[in-house]
Amino acid sequence: MKILAKILKSSKTEKLKFQRVSVSDFQHLTSRLAVAEETVRAIRSGEVDSVMVAGKEGSQVFTLDGAEHAYRMLIESMNEGALTLTADKAILFANRRFAKMVKCPLEQVTGSSFRRFLSAADRATLRPLMKQAAKDGHKIQVLLHAGDGSLIPVLLSIRELANEGSKNVIIGMVVTDLTEARRNEEQLRALTHRVVQAQEAERGRVALELHDHITQLLCAVLVRSQTLADQLPTREKRLKREALKLRELLGQTADEVERISRNLWPGVLEQLGLIAVLRDAGTKFAKRTGVAVKLACVSLPARLPGDIELTLYRILQEALENVALHASARRVNVKLTMQDHLVQLVICDDGISFDPKHPPASRKQKKRLGLLDMCERANHVGGTVNVKSVAGQGTTITIKIPFGKIRRGSQIQFVENRL
C-alpha cells in the first residue's frame, strides 16, 4: 500500500525550550519520531508516490509516479547524481550517488533544500536558470559544499520534467562530478608547460649555435668572396659580376640566419625589456610584409617577470604571423597597457574576419594551432586570451595577464611609435 509522505517546514521564529515533559508528552514525541523514521524509510525504498510540502502558499502535493519501475534502478546505478526539485529548490528525490558526492546521509538530503549545498554567488547564478528550465535545458558549473566542508566542482544539467495533470513545476537535475576531470586538466597543463619550457630552452640552444657558429662561418665566407672579387682581373668582367652576386647572396643568407636566430631567442628582451622587443618585432614585420604597424605602449615603471615578457612577445609573434598568412590586412595596431597588477596587450588588424571556433577549411590547421598556442602560453602565466573577429572590422586579440611582484630595472619610456 502506497504512503503519502508529508513534510512540514518549521517556522523560523519557533524556539526550542527545555522544560519538564509528562509521560504522555514523551510518548507522543516518540510516536511522531517513529512516523518520521518510517516516512524516511518509505522514501528511500520507493514506497512513496507523493510528497506534501507545507510552504508559505499552503500545502502542495508532488506526485512521484513510477517510483517502483525499472528506471529507478537505472537512476540508482548512475555514476552521476540525479535529483528532482520543486521550483523553490526543495529536493523531492536524490539518488545515492548524489548523497555520496556531497558526503551526507540520503535521509538528510531528501526533503532538504538544494540551496544548502551552494554558495551565495552560485545561488544567484542558478536562480534564473531554474526559471528558464521550461524553455530549454541549461548547464552550469558550480562548487558544491559537501557535508565535510570540502568543495566539489560539478556540472549541473537542468531540465523541467513533464508533470501532466499538475500545476506544480518539477525540475530534473543531473550532477556530474568534475573533480577527476579538473585533476587531469591540471596535469595536462603542467605537462604542456614543461613542454613549452623545454621548447624555449631548445630554441635558445639553437639560436646560440646559429649566432656563434653558422653566422660567423657565413661572415668568413663573405669576406673571402669579397677578397676573391677584388683579386679578379678587370678584364674578367663576367667572373667579377658572378663573384659580386655570390657575395650579395652570402650577405642575404647571413642576415636571414641572424633573423632566425633572433626569432628563436630574442636577446634584446633580456637586455632592454619588453617594449624594445615589441618595437623591434613590429619594425621587422612591417619591413618584411609591407603591412603598417602602429605600436602604443605605456611607460613601464619596472620590468615584468621574465616569463610574462616572453609570453607577450611570443603571442605577438604568432599574431603577426597569422596576419601575414591569413588576414590580408593593411594595418595592425598594437597597444600595451598596465593597471594595478594587470598587463594587457591588444593586437588589432583591419583584415578579413574569421570564426575563432570554426575557421575556414583552407586555413583551418594553421589558424587553430596559432590560437591554441596563444591560449596555452597565456594560461601558463595565469592569463587569458580573447579573440573577437567581426566581418568588415578585422580581428582583435586581447591578452590579459595578472602579475604579483615585479622586478625593478631600467625604466623604458616609449609612448608611441609609428612603424
Question: Domain count of the chain?
Answer: 3
* 412 pLDDT above the threshold of 50: no
Q: Mean pLDDT: which of 3-12, 52-61, 374-383 is highest?
A: 374-383
Q: Which of the listed residues 249, 265, 281 is the one where a domain comes to its end?
A: 265
Pairing of strands 292-297, 331-339: parallel
Give the mean model confidence (pLDDT) for residues 9-26: 50
How far apart are the C-alpha atoms of 115 and 209, rounded to whole Å?
62
pLDDT value, residue 160: 84
What is the residue-averaged pLDDT of the chain? Answer: 77
Banded model confidence at residue 78, pLDDT cuts 50, 70, 90:
confident
Tell whether 406 and 274 lie within a shared domain.
yes
Lowest mean pLDDT among 10-24, 381-395, 397-411: 10-24
- The pTM score is 0.55
Count CB atoms within 10 A of the CB of residue 348. Answer: 19
For residue 15, being part of any structural domain is answered with no
Phi, psi of 386 (to 5 degrees): -120, 130
Q: Which domain holds residue 259?
A: 189-265
How far is residue 45's CA from residue 252's CA, in Å, rounded to a whole number? Answer: 83
Res 165: pLDDT:
60
Which cell is 173 given? 537535475
φ, ψ for residue 145, nearest 5 deg: -90, 105
- Distance set, CA 409 to CA 31, 68, 72, 311, 416 (Å): 78, 73, 67, 19, 21
pLDDT at 336: 93
Q: Are 320 and 281 in contact (CB under 8 A)?
A: yes
In this model, does residue 147 exceed pLDDT 50? yes
Predicted confidence at residue 61, as pLDDT, reads 54
Segment of 199-203, 280-284, 390-394 carrying the highest mean pLDDT:
280-284
* pLDDT tens readout for residues 306-325: 888 889 988 998 899 888 88
- For the cut 80, the answer to whether the pLDDT of residue 4 exceeds it is no
| Amino acid residing at 258 | E
Q: Of 265, 282, 309, which closes a domain?
A: 265
Pair 154, 229 in one domain = no
- Supply the pLDDT for residue 153: 93
Question: Which domain CATH number covers 78?
Answer: 3.30.450.20
